[in-house]
Amino acid sequence: MTARPVHWVSLGNQSLDGASLIYVETFSRPRTDALVARSSQRPLQHVASYAAALLANVTLPVDTLPRPDGIYPALIGMTEEFSDKYADWPPVRWHVDGTAVTAWMWRFAGGWMAVSRRGGRLPGGRERRNRTGWPGAFRA
């Protein structure tokens, strides 16, 4: 088996009653940049698209309940539409490795998810470059 570079690392926790879930993922910047280089997506747009689809999936009822015809294509279209506009999502602040950064948050079906660039900006507005990271988190 040939080893592949890591694309993301995930950590999740669900409450014992199943009523809430928190999930944090960190994407490899070099791997994400390489994946999107062949497309028209920007790296953070790629991460926002992935996170929005994941949030939509976890807010669906259990698999044993019937699904309306066309629900999956509709959800995919909706998450793609909203993730394309991630820069217009409401900004929030959080800390990554002790540094305050701006994240963009999207709410859907009682849950939320946010994406940010790890490290934020240096004084003077220059972007802090790190070898890792497009953090994303959501709570449903």
Q: What is the mean pLDDT of the chain?
A: 78
pLDDT, position 118: 66
Q: 55-88 burial, b if ≥16 CB within 10 A, otherwise e?
A: bbebeeeeeeeeeeeeeeeebeeebeebbeebee
Q: Is the pLDDT of residue 82 over 50?
A: yes
pLDDT, position 40: 84
When pLDDT is cut at 50, 70 and 90, the band that residue 90 belongs to is: very high
When pLDDT is cut at 50, 70 and 90, the band that residue 128 belongs to is: very low
List strands edge to edge, sheet with 21-27.
8-14, 21-27, 134-139, 111-116, 99-108, 91-96
Beta strands in 58-133 (DSSP E): 91-96, 99-108, 111-116
Average pLDDT over residues 67-93: 88
Each residue's pLDDT tens digit, 36-77: 888 888 888 888 888 888 888 888 877 788 888 898 889 889
Exposed (0-12), middle (13-18) or buried (19+): which is 129, by Cβ within 10 Å? exposed
Q: Is the pLDDT of residue 120 over 60?
A: no
Q: Please tell me which residue, 132 or 33, carries the higher pLDDT value.
A: 33
When pLDDT is cut at 50, 70 and 90, the band that residue 24 belongs to is: confident
* Interatomic CA distance for residues 1 and 82, integer angstroms: 37
Q: Express as a percent the part of the chain with pLDDT over 70.
A: 83
pLDDT, position 19: 81
pTM: 0.73
